[in-house]
Structure 1
Amino acid sequence: MKRLIIGSLSAICLFISNPTNAQEDDKVNFSKEELKFSKMDASPMDLAMYKDQDDAAVARVIYSRPQKRNREIFGKLIPYGEVWRTGANEATELTLYKKMKVADEVIDAGTYTLYTIPGETEWTVILNSKTNTWGAYEYSEKEDKVRITVPVRQAPNTIESLSMAFQESGDGADLLIGWDESYVKVPFKNAN
């Protein structure tokens, strides 16, 4: 008889506290409303972060990652010699959390748009002060903070999605930007 009572009490406790019942109640509530969320973006947003030895944020890039999908990228999908948002959707944004040197130019902490002008052998990399822009439609050279030229490098393997990452380098970090068969390095040095 004790087993039956303990077994019955256990079953009652499970029934009362069973999260499945709570979920079913939620389903009933949600069925009264229709929830609509957008589909996954074809070029999902991502970010690359650079932190110093003390784990403090130094720089961050937010960008959308278009896919290769068997397309010819540079010189075709992304024309040579034209300003590119360096990604898809909104223009890529770079936030510096402290003063940094890009080439010989000291750039104050702040948020900038990162544009590029791809070429066959070199890219022009641009930090522009106009932010929150879609594509490169609102790009104005008058808003440029710095322009540098960097060589194009051959990737060791095909890069299917536009990718960015910081790689420590001497007194700072290089921002690697790669897609398809090539990549570039953009040097950022401590301004101290």
Structure 2
Amino acid sequence: MKYSWFILSFIIYNISWGQMSHPKASPFSRIEQEVGLSKISIEYSRPSARGRTLFGNQENGEPGLVPYGRIWRVGANESTKISFDSDIVIDGQELKKGTYALYAFPEENKWQIVFHNNSTHWGDGRTNYNPEEDALRILVLPTKTHDFQESFLISFDNLDHNSVSMIWNWGNTQISTPIQFDTKSIMQRQIDEELSKTPTPQTFYEAARYYQEQGIYLIKALSYVDLAIEKGGDTYYYHRVRSLILADLNRYAEAIKEAKLSLKLAKKEDKDEFVRLNEDNIRKWKTLLSQNK
């Protein structure tokens, strides 16, 4: 029995030792970005340069960390995963919502970016990678940066309601991929659904504000904000949006009147930011009004 206990203790010790965690040379990272009413998330590992040649060949002709013409996992360790919670468009091509493995085929003057349906491969899959399982493949042009990025970085920039640029930086190489979302259709479905129920003043206001921000359906937007005021009373933000819509319709005299009312209501509630915004618009619209006379 003592001998058996010794063997069991030895096994438990070695199992425990084998499970020791070590710091990773390429740490895991997860990023999320909202775009309009949609979201992108990316899971990847971040290798560092550490003085090594990153792309192409070294000076002695040996391949760098990421040789040209060969598949790259866009990071390190497991394959990089990218997820979209709504359908998107990249380079004029549609891609359905879902999770994809993200791969690249770098070359000196052009890269192919791949959104791959099979996300089960470790790393880049190598011989198991099957291009027939690609969901989408696009061509992008790399650019050179002045600042050196030590650890591989994926980020997002150039955000608006309908699009974002996915940016890769490593060393002095940058890849930028614009991604488009059909936020207008998503928002319109929400507006139609809410208006089909028992809309509140806030419902009409939100619809009017969205239309104004997008510069669409301005006459409808004006009718919606009028309903918000009729049913919900005077608020500085209702009248501010009404002033913006009127200005977009080039009805500057009415816009100034609405902005003055919004300013007055904002002062009562100590909303200094909206006081300043209304004052700025009043000055701007007075100038435009005088120019149009």
CA distance in 1, matches of 2:84, 2:158: 15
* Pairing 1:38-117 to 2, within 5 Å after superposition: 38-53=21-36, 57-75=38-56, 76-117=64-105
Distance 1:103 1:169 in 2: 17
- The question of whether the paired residues in 2 share the 8 Å contact of 1:93 and 1:111 is answered with yes
Percent identity, aligned pairs only, is 28
Q: Which residue of 1 aligns with 2:273?
A: none
Equivalent-residue separation in structure 1 for 2:81 and 2:38 (angstroms)? 15
- Aligned-partner SS, 2:55: coil
Instruction: Say if 2:111 is the partner of 1:123.
Output: yes
Q: TM-score, normalised by structure 1?
A: 0.76
Question: Unaligned stretches of 5+ in structure 2?
Answer: 1-15, 57-63, 186-293
Where do 4+ consecutive residues of structure 1 move more than 3 Å? 34-37
The structure with the larger Rg is 2
| CA–CA distance in structure 2, aligned partners of residues 68 and 108 of structure 1 | 34
Distance of 1:83 and 1:187 partners within structure 2: 21
The C-alpha deviation readout for 1:68-114, integer Å capped at 9, x for no partner, is 00001000210001111111010100000111111111111100000
Matched, 1:159 2:145: no
Work out the CA distance in 1 between the residues paired with 2:119 and 2:32: 19
Residue by residue over 1:16-71, the C-alpha shift from the partner in whole angstroms, topping out at 9 and shown as x without a partner, is xxxxxxxxxxxxxxxxxx78541111100112221134xx5511111000010000
* AA of the residue aligned to 1:177: W
3-state DSSP class of the match of 1:86? coil
Instruction: Measure, in 2, the Cα distance between the counterparts of 1:57 and 1:100.
Output: 10
Task: Provide structure 1 residue ranges, at least 5 long, that are not aligned to the other structure.
Answer: 1-33
**Alignment partner, residue 180 of structure 1:** 171
Query: Aligned AA for 2:110?
Result: E
> Which structure exhibits the higher relative contact order, with contacts defined as CA atoms closer than 8 Å and separated by 6 or more residues?
1
Give the Cα–Cα distance (whole angstroms) in 1 for the partners of residues 44 and 151 of structure 2: 12
Measured against aligned partners, the alpha-carbon deviations of 1:109-165 in whole angstroms (never above 9, x if no partner) come to 100000001111121000000013211123210110111111101123110001000
2:35/2:159 contact within 8 Å kept: no
- The match for 1:168 is 158
More strand by share: 1
- Partner secondary structure for residue 132 of structure 2: helix
Q: 1:47 and 1:190 mapped to 2: Cα distance?
A: 21
CA distance in 1, matches of 2:100, 2:172: 27
- Letter of the structure 2 residue corresponding to residue 151 of structure 1: L
Measure the CA separation in 2 of the matches of 1:126 and 1:144. 7
Q: Which moved more, 1:57-66 or 1:141-150?
A: 57-66
3-state SS of 1:176 partner: strand
In 1, Cα distance between equivalents of 2:146 and 2:177: 18
TM-score, normalised via structure 2 length: 0.51
Number of equivalent positions: 157
> How far did residue 168 of structure 1 move?
2.9
